[in-house]
Amino acid sequence: MSSSANIYQQVIIKSIKQETAGVKTFTLSYANGGNIPYVAGQFITLVFQHHNKEERRSYSISSSPALREPLSFTVKRLDNGAYSRLLHDKAEVGDVLLTTDVAGLFTLPLKINVAAQYFFFAAGIGITPIISLIKTLLIQKPDIEAVLVYSNRTADDVVFFNELNELAARNGGKFRIEYLYSTAFNLSRARLNKALVRQLLNEYGKVERENMYCYVCGPFDYMRMVIYALEESRVKDEQIRKENFNVNERPAMIVEPPDKGQHRVTIIHNNSSLTINCQYPDTILKAAKKSGIALPYSCETGRCGSCAARCIEGNVWHSYNEVLMDMDLRHGSILTCTGYPVGGDITIEV
């Protein structure tokens, strides 16, 4: 690996679709032709220049590779979101964008049969990776039981309304949708709360809790509430996958690693390797940046999974991790953006 390794690729906007007021879908291909490979539920990281400084933003993919759909991502226009405004207000078909690649661990299990029923909880634009997962799941296993609980303010805010209803109609009662509107008159079916999560699990559940698999995507408070409710309903942590779409907010708590000494980090990439020194307060990612090594990353807060790598020697301690599950950690997965080498030198594969 050379420190100047080019991790950037050019992609071109092939089409733009207005989904609802304030939500657009952008379809991409490589600028030199060809579809961009991806896995359902992942995101693409785009690179922007701001005052001569590189800024990265990740956008969830809404298309399905199982349907051979070219990569599309769906974005809500945020008044305080400089890049969502740029995409909504300025981007045109034919524009070339820069990406550092597709990544993310909010994906279907390798074996769909690990669960007999899938529950998807989405709020607002959190539907984006969820629809990618649902389309893919229903193609891979059409007879699987699947339920979507989709929260919005009003019916006008529902993204992919027709597409979701068509999926439900096509899958003959196996895929069911509960739309919730926080402005509804019937308060017992309005804003999602812990009691309603439990009630919906009972109403729609066709299998024992241990045979369910749940996906949750939405704002932080929504996700925390749904995850607590699921855990209180005896759905185990390893049966829950979560994706926080507001990954650019930094966790308030700063924690220090148990070992703040300097250690050597060997980074293996494409059969070549480089060794750098890393010491707190620098994370592995920061130390690599200082050494001029371009590693993949996006949020830099332990919330998106863009920087995931594998530790094949030594130990890594994370100051924050919202994406790797215990199982991933046991298999050596690490996040370079919040990871520090502890107890000695380490070797990682990127």
- Site for ligand FES contains 304 (CB under 6 A): yes
Interacting residue with ligand FES among 297, 318, 333, 340 (CB under 6 A)? 297
Piece of the chain touching ligand FES by CB under 6 A; list 126-134, 139-147, 256-264, 294-302: 294-302
Interacting residue with ligand FES among 168, 212, 225, 337 (CB under 6 A)? 337
Piece of the chain touching ligand FES by CB under 6 A; list 104-112, 176-184, 212-220, 303-311: 303-311
State the minimum distance, in angstroms, from the CB of residue 299 to ligand FES: 4
Distance CA(332)–CA(37), nearest Å, equals: 24
Judged by CB, which is closer to ligand FES: 75, or 146? 75
Residue type, 345: D
Judged by CB, which is closer to ligand FES: 179, or 220? 220
By the 8 A CB rule, do 347 and 311 touch?
Answer: yes
Distance CA(197)–CA(220), nearest Å, equals: 16
β-pairing, 308-318 vs 333-335, is antiparallel
- Site for ligand FES contains 306 (CB under 6 A): yes
Interacting residue with ligand FES among 138, 146, 335, 350 (CB under 6 A)? 335
Piece of the chain touching ligand FES by CB under 6 A; list 19-27, 139-147, 189-197, 292-300: 292-300
User: What is the H or E stretch that residue 290 is in?
Assistant: helix 284-290
- Site for ligand FES contains 233 (CB under 6 A): no
346 three-class SS = strand
- Site for ligand FES contains 242 (CB under 6 A): no
Distance CA(205)–CA(221), nearest Å, equals: 24
Cβ burial 6-38 (10 Å sphere, 16+ → b, else e): ebebebbbeebeebeebbbbbbbeeeeeeebeb
- Site for ligand FES contains 298 (CB under 6 A): yes
Q: Give the DSSP letter string of 35-48.
A: PPP--TT-EEEEEE
- Site for ligand FES contains 300 (CB under 6 A): yes
Judged by CB, which is closer to ligand FES: 201, or 304? 304
State the minimum distance, in angstroms, from the CB of residue 175 to ligand FES: 31
Piece of the chain touching ligand FES by CB under 6 A; list 36-44, 80-88, 234-242, 300-308: 300-308
- Site for ligand FES contains 302 (CB under 6 A): yes
Nearest 5°: phi and psi at 142? Answer: -60, -25
Interacting residue with ligand FES among 303, 333, 334, 348 (CB under 6 A)? 303
Judged by CB, which is closer to ligand FES: 81, or 205? 81
4 three-class SS = coil
Q: How far is CA 172 from CA 145, 165, 175, 208, 323, in A?
A: 10, 11, 7, 22, 33
- Site for ligand FES contains 350 (CB under 6 A): no
The angle that helices 127-140 and 161-170 make with each other, rounded to 10 degrees, is 20
State the minimum distance, in angstroms, from the CB of residue 269 to ligand FES: 16
Q: Please give the angle made by the CA atoms of 67, 68 and 70, to the nearest 5 degrees.
A: 120
Distance CA(174)–CA(205), nearest Å, equals: 12
- Site for ligand FES contains 284 (CB under 6 A): no
By the 8 A CB rule, do 18 and 98 touch?
Answer: no
Judged by CB, which is closer to ligand FES: 73, or 297? 297
Residue type, 317: W
Binding stretches for ligand FES (CB under 6 A)? 297-300, 302-307, 323, 335, 337
